Structure 1
């Protein structure tokens, strides 16, 4: 599966502080990309949209 991370629109949580200790997420079309803001070239975790939804719901509980 080819995913074009370079063309994705990455966003960071508005709750992130100024220290840079956060992650960025992007809709990659065939999954949700998650990467470290401080090391953007260090790799991207790609999960399904359903897994992302389950993750967010579990955080809200």
Structure 2
């Protein structure tokens, strides 16, 4: 099955407000109620990696 995604960059304050998390490593993936938020330190990483099961909604 094909799956499609929309990726939009947000600022640090918006990320924290939505997730309650701060980036304390090179990459952080946080699923939150139907959305998946990703933070990445672009001095250490040049791409993001998001497990597809991050998008699976929990019952």
Instruction: Bin the TM-score by the shorter chain.
Output: 0.3 to 0.5
TM-score (norm 1): 0.34
TM-score (norm 2): 0.35
Q: Which has the higher helix share?
A: 1
Q: Which has the higher strand share?
A: 1
